[in-house]
Each structure stands twice: as C-alpha cells, then as structure tokens.
C-alpha cells in the first residue's frame, strides 16, 4: 500500500510541473514584427518545489509566436494563354503547320493530343474549331468554339471565339444565330 502512495505522489508532482508544450506554428509564412507578442516583465520564475513542500497552483501565460492565417484558395479559372505548357504550345504549332499544309486530319489528331494534356485550354478548342470549319464540319466547329468561349479567361479570347461561332453558324446557314454571335463578340 505504501508503494502506491509514493508512486501516486511522484505522479502528482510530475503533473504539476510548469512545462508548457510549444505553440503550434504555421511554417508556410514568416512571422513579422506585428505577429510577435512579448510577455510583459513577469515576476521571476518560482523555484521548483522541494519534495516535501506542496506544489503551488501556478498559471502559465501563453505566448503567440506567429499569426496563423488561412491561405487564399487558388481559383479554378482556366489557364491564361501565357500559362500554356510548352508541350501544348509545341502541339499547337505542329497542328497549325499541318493545317496550313492541308493535312487537316493530322492537325485534328495533334490537337486531340493537346486536349488530353490541357483539357481546359481555350486556345486548343479554338484551333480545333478552325480546323473543323476548314474541313466543312460547321456544327462541330460551332460546338468547339462555344467551349472556347466558356473557358476563355479574358475578353479578347472570348471575342475571337464568338466570331468563330458566328462564322461556323454562317457556314451552316444559320444567319440569325451568326448575327447573335457577332453581337456577343462585340459585348452586346
């Protein structure tokens, strides 16, 4: 029984220590001067209790080391045309060369490879729509150009895509639809 009493008191003394776990810090940002909080001149730390003395109830003041802030969530907006990967740029150039040489089937295959790499790149859809229109596939070209409109990150790409939609609709005999697309191209 005496063993349990000694073990219990040793356990209590260990629990009553003044050790504090280190604060959790977000390591993705450096803390600035405004983020650091210093303790005011505190009273000198009490001497550790002796074995026979009862432990006084002490309070520990937490110190904030760094401010933890939420990181901004990157939007899932389509890539800007300046952010096209080099592989996709190479495929776009290759498809343009193939189409200008009259090899439209190869150009379509090359653009499909580019779509597998960058399925949200409006430039790929735009180029594919141009090639399909040259092949006489006006409805397919219109659908691809509309996809480019949906993914367009800025007004210039959106305008060019709407103009391509208008051209595809004219080729399909839809003059009213072409007029509406031209109005959209003008922002109206």
Q: What is the pLDDT of residues 152-181, one digit of tens each?
A: 999 999 999 999 999 999 999 999 999 999
Residue 177: inside a domain, yes or no?
yes
Query: Do the Cβ atoms of 141 and 99 come closer than 8 Å?
Result: no
CB within 8 A of 160, min separation 6: which ones?
A: 126, 185
pLDDT value at 21 more than 70? no
Q: Where are any strands of DSSP class E within 41-98? A: none
State the average pLDDT for the chain: 78
- For a pLDDT cut of 90, what percent of the chain falls above it? 54
pTM over 0.85: no
Smallest CA-to-CA distance from 116 within 104, 128, 99 is with: 128
**Domain containing residue 93: CATH number:** 1.25.40.10
Residue 66: inside a domain, yes or no?
no
pLDDT value at 87 more than 90? yes
152 vs 31, more confident: 152
Domain extent, residue 176, equals: 85-185
Q: Quote the number of domains for the chain.
A: 1
pLDDT value at 120 more than 60? yes
Residue 92: inside a domain, yes or no?
yes
Give the pLDDT mean for 98-126: 97
Residue 183: phi and psi, rounded to 5, are -65, -40
pLDDT score recorded for residue 187: 87
pLDDT value at 62 more than 80? no
pLDDT value at 39 more than 50? no
Residue 30: inside a domain, yes or no?
no
Q: What is the pLDDT of residues 130-152, one digit of tens each?
A: 999 999 999 999 999 999 999 99
Residue 68: inside a domain, yes or no?
no
Residue 70: inside a domain, yes or no?
no
Residue 41: inside a domain, yes or no?
no
């Amino acid at each position: 029984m005496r063993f349990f009493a000694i073990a219990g008191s040793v356990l209590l003394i260990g629990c009553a220590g003044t050790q504090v776990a280190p604060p959790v810090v977000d390591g993705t940002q450096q803390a600035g001067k405004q983020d650091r909080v210093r303790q005011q001149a505190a009273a000198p730390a009490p001497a550790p209790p002796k074995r026979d003395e009862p432990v006084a109830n002490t309070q520990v003041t937490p110190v904030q080391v760094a401010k933890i802030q939420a990181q901004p969530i990157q939007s899932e907006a389509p890539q800007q045309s300046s952010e096209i990967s080099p592989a996709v740029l190479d495929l776009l150039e290759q498809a343009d060369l193939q189409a200008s040489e009259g090899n439209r089937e190869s150009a379509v295959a090359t653009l499909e490879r580019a779509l597998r790499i960058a399925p949200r790149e409006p430039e790929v859809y735009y180029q594919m729509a141009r090639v399909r229109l040259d092949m006489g596939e006006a409805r397919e070209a219109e659908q691809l150009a509309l996809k480019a409109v949906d993914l367009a990150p800025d007004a210039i790409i959106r305008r060019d895509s709407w103009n391509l939609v208008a051209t595809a609709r004219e080729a399909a005999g839809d003059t009213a639809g072409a007029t509406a697309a031209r109005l959209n191209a003008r922002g109206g």
